[in-house]
Amino acid sequence: MAEPMKIRASMAGDTAEVKCLMNHPMETGLRKDAKTGALVPALHITNVTATVNGKTVLDAQWGGGVSKNPYLAFKVKGAKAGDKVMVSWVDNTGDKNSAEASIG
Amino acid sequence: MNNLRRNVLKGAGAAGAVSVAVMAGLLKPGMALADWNKAGFESKDLNGAMSAIGAGSAAASGDISVKAPDIAENGAVVPVEITSNIAGTDSIAIVSEKNTMPLIADFKLMNGAQGFISTRIKMGSTSNVVAVVKAGGKVYKAHKEVKVTIGGCGG
Amino acid sequence: MKKIIVALAGLGILMGAVAANAGPEEDRVKVTNYFKAKYPDIKVEDYIYGALAFDPDSKAQYNSIMEFPPYTAEIDKGEKLWKTPLKSGKTYADCLPNGGKMIAGNYPMFDNAKGKVVTLEDAINECRKANGEEAYGYGDPKTMGLLTAYMRTLSDGMKMNIKVEGDAAQKAYEDGKKTFYSRAGQLNFSCASCHVDGAGNRLRSELLSPVIGQATHWPVFRGGDNLVTLQVRYEGCNKSVRHSPDKAGSTRYNNLEYFHSFMSNGLELKSSVFRK
């Protein structure tokens, strides 16, 4: 989905706390359309990666069980204010999105 | 997605497989053949999901905290926060035991990422939420029960 | 009248002010004192959280989700609607008092010239019509819902400040109060049955929210996803208790919202919040 994700990144002591809000319908493929009764096809993020100054810190695989418009928070020790955090996702159709923020 | 991968790897040598696939029209430009644990994510029971992520013999640990509600306000969006105090945590996975497909997410952590993941998950019914943590080549687990009800005041 | 009141009191029904001409402020104080007495450990200002004020586990989930709500993209869409000029070239900020900021707590208000209650949604539609646009569907989540999901947040922190001045306004207030306290529909519930008498108790698995604070926090995003405005909630609630609903924007619902909002006077507004 093209909707931009939001990232908030700030330092707490020597650890960066990163919080993201992604926009994605996260369909499991198990839900029936209320009007037609047909199964809504699976459409969900399958992979999420996060980097700090280009170095991978998080590499995740997701199923449809993560909630719609996913929220993700993680912590990185040793990151510093001003470092660049980038979070990217890919879904099961190949659609992708990413966003970048400076750690505040 | 796996069939595509299999055909691509069959039809081309190790080098240039992706470009061959693009030229053969099998792979749209920009579509990555990312790793995805299909067996795990499509497993329909707890044991299957746990085996698929290498957690078949995970040991219960008191050093993992699973913070989740006692009773979910809405099963579509249940906040779950996992903290692992086990030194060298390099992986956290979330499994919701009674979900149709219990494996929710599997996070590899590296280069300073701490043993901490906070997210929101879907739960179809009352169930244990299981956290699987890998550290120092060993596997550990902890869980919390979350009750899920269907409310009566929706309007 | 007195026999009926005694009988109803015997059934545990609170009728609010007994005298026909008791003022709205007396009504508000009376029902606020009722809750202070019934739940002395709950701060009155926490009633803006509704049923969550009674349940720490629910409130913790609300706090967690409100930290970074899943519907932020919807609010952004509402912001775009708010900032897009109307056909005349003017914006909503040009129409509404104070550019639309810190005003939601003044609505609904009684418009003496029009002889009726005017809600914030009515004021938005008046602005649209005066500037070359068609009115939005009052209860349409995709237009009025999205627009107010953003616009109402411009009044976050404002204290509810409804005024009932003059006979015509008083009449509309009394009509809303009557709707609130009258039993109706197949299940013969009044709003008060749940939201005064039953507030803080459970009806099956649901904790019932109290009337005070109730009108401060709309629209809500149910499950973080389903946008519901206050009068659409009136429709839903009426249906739930098997009482044929009005359509959002009706005179009866506007008068009800007038009374309902007055009961939250002095309490803080916060819009576009998470609910189950």
Neighbours of chain B (3+ CB pairs under 8 A): A, C
- How many Cβ atoms sit within 10 Å of the Cβ of residue C114? 10
Compare CB distances from C205 to B69, B74, B151 and report the shortest one's residue: B151
Lowest mean pLDDT among A76-90, B75-89, C19-33: C19-33
Residue C258 lies inside a defined structural domain of this protein: yes
Residue C113 lies inside a defined structural domain of this protein: yes
Domain co-membership, C173 together with C113: no
Contact B74 C64 (CB under 8 A): no
Domain co-membership, C57 together with C100: no
Each residue's pLDDT tens digit, A92-101: 999 999 999 9
Domain co-membership, C112 together with C230: no
Domains of chain B, residue spans: 1-34, 44-148
Of C155, C186, C212, the position where a domain reaches its end is C155
State residue C34's pLDDT score. 98
Distance from CA of B36 to the nearest CA of A (A): 6
Angstrom distance (rounded) from CA B27 to CA B33: 9
The residue with tokens 């779950």 is: B80
The 3 state secondary structure assigned to chain C is: CHHHHHHHHHCCCCCCCCCCCCCHHHHHHHHHHHHHHHCCCCCHHHHHHHHHHHCHHHHHHHHHHHHCCCCHHHHHHHHHHHHCCCCCCCCHHHHCHHHHCCCHHHCCEEECCCCEEECHHHHHHHHHHHCCCCCCCCCCHHHHHHHHHHHHHHHCCCECCCCCCCHHHHHHHHHHHHHHHCCECCCCECHHHHHHHCCCCEECCEECCCCCCHHHCCCEEECCCEEECHHHHHHHHHHHCCCCCCCCCCHHHHHHHHHHHHCCCCCECCCCEEEC
Please compute the mean of the pLDDT values over residues B120-137 and round it to a whole number.
Answer: 97
- For B106: left if phi > 0, alpha if psi spans -120 to 50, otherwise beta; the answer is beta
- Residue A19 belongs to a domain with what CATH number? 2.60.40.10
Lowest mean pLDDT among B32-36, C44-48, C186-190, C212-216: B32-36
State residue C17's pLDDT score. 42
Q: Which residues of A touch C225 (CB under 8 A)?
A: 68-69
Of C132, C155, C178, the position where a domain reaches its end is C155
Report helix, strand or coil for B11: helix
Phi, psi of C272 (to 5 degrees): 55, 65
Instruction: Report which of A73, A78, A81 is spatially closest to residue A101, judged by C-alpha positions.
Output: A81
- CA nearest C204 in B: which residue? B152
Q: Which residues of C touch A19 (CB under 8 A)?
A: 67-68
State residue B18's pLDDT score. 46
State residue B24's pLDDT score. 46
C7 vs B93: which has the higher pLDDT? B93
Angstrom distance (rounded) from CA C272 to CA C219: 5
One-letter amino acid of C231: Q
pLDDT class of C12 with cuts at 50, 70, 90: very low
Q: Which residues of B touch C209 (CB under 8 A)?
A: none
Report helix, strand or coil for B41: helix
pLDDT class of B152 with cuts at 50, 70, 90: low
Angstrom distance (rounded) from CA B83 to CA A36: 42
Lowest mean pLDDT among B21-25, B44-48, C29-33, C128-132: B21-25
For chain A, what is the domain count?
Answer: 1
Of all residues in chain C, the percent with pLDDT exceeding 90 is 89
Contact A57 B113 (CB under 8 A): yes
Each residue's pLDDT tens digit, C14-64: 444 444 456 999 999 999 999 999 999 999 999 999 999 999 999 999 999
Contact A72 B32 (CB under 8 A): no
Residue C184 has pLDDT above 70, yes or no: yes
Residue B28 has pLDDT above 60, yes or no: no
Domain co-membership, C77 together with C185: no
State residue B153's pLDDT score. 61
Residue C8 lies inside a defined structural domain of this protein: no
C186 touches chain A (CB under 8 A): no
- Residue C48 belongs to a domain with what CATH number? 1.10.760.10
State residue C204's pLDDT score. 81
Domain co-membership, C78 together with C149: yes
Q: Which two tokens stand for residue C181?
A: 């306290």
Q: Which residues of A touch B100 (CB under 8 A)?
A: 28, 30
Each residue's pLDDT tens digit, C134-175: 999 999 999 999 999 999 999 999 999 999 999 999 999 999
State residue A91's pLDDT score. 97
Domain co-membership, C183 together with C271: yes
| Per-residue burial over B5-34, b = 16 or more CB atoms within 10 Å of its CB, e = otherwise | beebeeebeeeebeebbbeeeebeeebebb
State residue A3's pLDDT score. 78
Domain co-membership, C150 together with C179: no
Q: Which of C64, C202, C222, C228 to mutate to test the interface with B (most CBs of B within 10 A)?
A: C64
Q: Which two tokens stand for residue B10?
A: 């069959």
Please compute the mean of the pLDDT values over residues C91-96 and round it to a whole number.
Answer: 98
Domain co-membership, C118 together with C174: no
Distance from CA of C183 to the nearest CA of B (A): 18
Please compute the mean of the pLDDT values over residues C178-204 and round it to a whole number.
Answer: 95
Catalytic residue among C95, C191, C194, C237: C237
Q: What is the ipTM of this complex?
A: 0.96
Contact C68 A6 (CB under 8 A): yes
DSSP A4: P
State residue B22's pLDDT score. 41
Query: Quick check: is C237 catalytic?
Result: yes
B95 touches chain C (CB under 8 A): no
Q: Which of A10, A19, A24, A71 to mutate to test the interface with C (most CBs of C within 10 A)?
A: A71
Angstrom distance (rounded) from CA B91 to CA C110: 60
| Domain, as residue range, for A63 | 6-28+38-102
Class of domain B44-148: mainly beta
State which H helix or E strand residue B145 sits in.
strand B138-148
Within a 13 Å sphere around the CA of A14, how many CA atoms are in the beta-carbon half?
4
For chain C, what is the domain count?
Answer: 2
One-letter amino acid of A69: N
Each residue's pLDDT tens digit, B42-63: 999 999 999 999 999 999 999 9
Compare CB distances from C71 to A19, A69, A70 and report the shortest one's residue: A69
Contact A68 B76 (CB under 8 A): yes
My answer on whether omega of the bond before C108 falls inside 30° of 0, hence cis, is yes
Contact C73 A69 (CB under 8 A): yes
Domain co-membership, C39 together with C120: no
Of C120, C155, C190, the position where a domain reaches its end is C155
Distance from CA of B9 to the nearest CA of C (A): 39
Domain co-membership, C177 together with C265: yes
Residue C6 lies inside a defined structural domain of this protein: no
Residue C18 lies inside a defined structural domain of this protein: no
Q: Which two tokens stand for residue A97?
A: 């999105």
Domain co-membership, C172 together with C60: yes
Neighbours of chain A (3+ CB pairs under 8 A): B, C
| Domain, as residue range, for C78 | 72-155
Residue A17 lies inside a defined structural domain of this protein: yes
Compare CB distances from B149 to C205, C240, C275 and report the shortest one's residue: C205
Domain co-membership, C257 together with C130: no
